[in-house]
Each structure stands twice: as C-alpha cells, then as structure tokens.
Amino acid sequence: MFRYSDKEIKEILKEATVVVDTREQKCGHIIQYFTAKKIPYVCEKLDFGDYTLKVHLPHVERPVYLQDKCVIERKANLNELSGNFTQSRERIESEFLKGMGKMYLLIENAKYEDILLQNYNTKYLPQSFMGTLKAFEARYDLKIMYLENSTYSGDFIYRTLQHYLRELLRKGEL
C-alpha cells in the first residue's frame, strides 16, 4: 500500500480545495469565512451533500474528489431540517442513501435540547424529530453536529474535511 511522506501530506492538505455544492443556499457566512482565511474553494455540482474536498495527488493527473469518502450536509436550522423530514423525507433520505463514506449532518443555530424543548417553528413533534435523527444516525452511520453559532460553520466544515483527508493519507487509503 502506497503511503505519502509527511512533507507530501502537508503539501496535499495545503492545496486541498473545499467543494461547495452549487445548490447550497444561504451559505454566504461560510464563503466569507473561506475567503477571510484564504481557504481555497470552488462551487461545483455534487451528487449528494453540500461540502467535500477535491485534492491534487502527486502522480495523478486529475483531481480526486472525496465525495465518496467524506461529505457534509448542512441545514441552516431546525425549521429547515424538520421541514425536510415532514415535506420531503424521501429526498433527504435518498441523499443519505447515496453516501458511501463518512457523512456529517451539520445543524446550524441549534442545540440538541432545542429539539427536546420544541424550539423550532413546525408541528413536528420532538419525539418524532429525535426518533428520525437517531434512526438516520444508526441507519446511515451519520454523525450529527449541532452548532449554536453559525459563525463557526466554515471552521467546522474546513477542519472536519481537512482532518478526514489527513487520516486517509496517513493510512494510505487515498
């Protein structure tokens, strides 16, 4: 199994580009973070998820996309997510079904207890909401992250993808 040197890994990580799905809406705060931190990003259509990475590996002519390895699905708040579960459940479930690698669900402007306390503006009952989330966690090996302050979403997305890539490179899995 081929393994990259520490120097090569550092260079690959430095050049890795965040891919933002072209259908991703209301993500100006994330783009603003990437721009301020000089994090390379591009907007391209993704088959599923909202964020992933593309990398240029030594001795590989084309960029390698990590969509099949690691992807982040972002929801702006619990209202959006509960609406997805009640109005277009098949669509969101098909998104998770397409995922072959590690999938993260980032829920902005929310805490875990907001679901239990029904701090959202839909009629979706907390027991049903939590039941769906826990079922999806188990069914799709989904990692759910609540981020109360969406100012830090760009940081969460970037660090999550970067560290996942680093581990793949260290293990020789890419």
CATH 3.60.150.10 is the classification of domain 6-171: no
CA distance 83 to 55: 34
pLDDT 10s digits, 103-143: 999 999 999 999 999 999 998 999 999 999 999 999 998 99
* 3-state SS, one letter per residue, for 45-63: CCCCCCEEEEECCCCCCCC
Using one digit for the tens of pLDDT, what is the confidence trace for 49-65? 999 999 999 888 999 99
**Angle between the N-to-C axes of helices 126-140 and 89-98, in degrees from 0 to 180, rounded to the nearest 10:** 20
Tell me which residue has tokens 């680093």.
Answer: 166
Task: Give the SS3 label for residue 96.
Answer: helix
* Every domain of the chain and the residues it spans: 6-171
Burial of 56 (0-12, 13-18, 19+ CB in 10 A): middle
Note the pTM of the prediction, 2 decimals. 0.92
- Parallel, antiparallel, or unpaired: how do β-strands 17-21 and 51-55 relate? antiparallel
